[in-house]
Chain A
Amino acid sequence: MDRKTGRGNRLGLLIMGLLLTLLGGYTLARGAHALPQTMAPGGEPLVNDPVRAVFARYDPWLWWVIAAAAIVLALFGLRWLLVQGRRDRLGDFRLESGSGGITDVRTSTVANAIADEVGSHPAILSASASMIGTKEHPAVRLRVVADEKAPMSAVREQLSGYAIPHMRQTLERDHVPAIARVSLEGPSHSRRVR
């Protein structure tokens, strides 16, 4: 799942929330006789003669419009659902450097190399990586298990000092953002024996 999903979720929730708020708010206001009674009387039935008149007048295509709107709603909902499982994992791609050279980049190889490099630090117990993003803007996602006694600067320096510069070189990019999730592991017998 990528970061776009989070933004999309919030946008979708915002839109649906506003729609529901508007709908509920309108009904509350009309029911409380707070709207102009000539336009939207509160004492009338939900479906009154003017509503019937509209449907009768625009029959049948008002119903087609409603059906189309319902289909659009369902499609949006479906897409929104499907997007939740989206992975932004980057597949293998081809690099064409300026000198006419062509490199086929196997993203798993690059990812494994960076994971090995990060994991070579004694404070880092294990590391795994995968490439994400697009061919134009590749990025790397790491899971790192570090010794809880080591300062976080060990992880940071291992990444920014060695692994990321090497990856920039390999991928011929000025920026290769990295996002690392670190869990810390301590010795199981860290309790002081007294």
Chain B
Amino acid sequence: MTLPPSEPPVPASEEDTVPLPGPPVPTSGERPVPDPVSGTGPAPETPTAPGAEVAEATTPPVAPRVPRNPRADRAAVRAFRPRRVVPAVITAALMTVAGVVVAAEVISALLGRPLRWIPYDRLLAWASSTTWDDPGVLLGAGVITALGLLLVLLAIVPGRPRLIPVRTGDPDLIIGMQPRSFTRALAHAAEQVPGIDHARVRLRGKTAEVTAHSPLREPAGLVEAVQRTVVERIAALGPLKDYPVRVNLRGK
């Protein structure tokens, strides 16, 4: 016995059962998840080229299983702030070299046996004949100013944390996870979704960008499923900051 379709007869009704050999019809991201049984396919107002990506970004549901503690959060963020080791080592080495050279030159000259590592007679002649508004002097001053500003920026900009801080709710317990572990875990989660055979996750700014590949021609509802799964996994891993999930689905 067959029941008449409860849905109003839509032109796309064949899509319910028969995968059409035509181009794939991606779903729109903004729509709610279509019912897999009576799913009516794509919304006509989102025409998309075959094989194009479907993207959407949502904010994961806030499920703070861990009590928020601003002090703990700050401590965790601070703990994994970049230490600026490379610029510090370069600056410190230059300071050391400059200090040693100047001190050696001056003291040796004062003691009557100048080392003359630096040709300072020529240097003095140049400085005595070059004016402050000389283009070379201005250029050098510009470079020094830019370097100085760069160092100031390196000092005050927090920078991207080396590890992703995890919310613990306890200032005495700081947990950070390796960013690569985090993205790999999310990718593996996305690959658990039926219909996804390969996924990659990249952190772009504060967004987790999932690129999922599906062998299916008609990945209806897949974007939402991947999104849900990844959002759940993020919630389970509990990073301090929420990462909105953006899914790019590549169909065949």
Contact = CB atoms under 8 A, between A and B. Distances in A.
A39 interface: no
Contacts of B180: 183
Contact of B85 (A32, A40, A84, A175): A84
Given A151-B236, A183-B177, A192-B196, A20 B185 contact: no
A181 B184 CA distance: 16
Contacts of B78: 3
Contacts of A160: 168, 170, 173
B174 A185 contact: no
Given A20-B147, A24-B143, A148 B215 contact: no
A31 B155 contact: no
Given A24-B144, A43-B131, A5 B83 contact: yes
Interface residues of A, number: 78
A192 B194 contact: yes
Contact of B172 (A63, A67, A176): A176
A25 interface: yes
Interface of B: 65-66, 78-79, 81-85, 87-89, 91-103, 106-107, 109-110, 124, 127-134, 137-138, 140-156, 163, 166, 168, 170-178, 180-182, 184-185, 188, 191-192, 194, 196-198, 215, 236-238
Interface of A: 1, 3, 5-6, 9-14, 16-25, 27-28, 30-33, 40-48, 60, 63-64, 66-67, 70-78, 80-81, 84, 148-149, 151-153, 155-156, 159-160, 164, 175-186, 190-192, 194
7 contacts: A16-B91, A24-B142, A33-B133, A73-B98, A75-B99, A155-B175, A180-B175
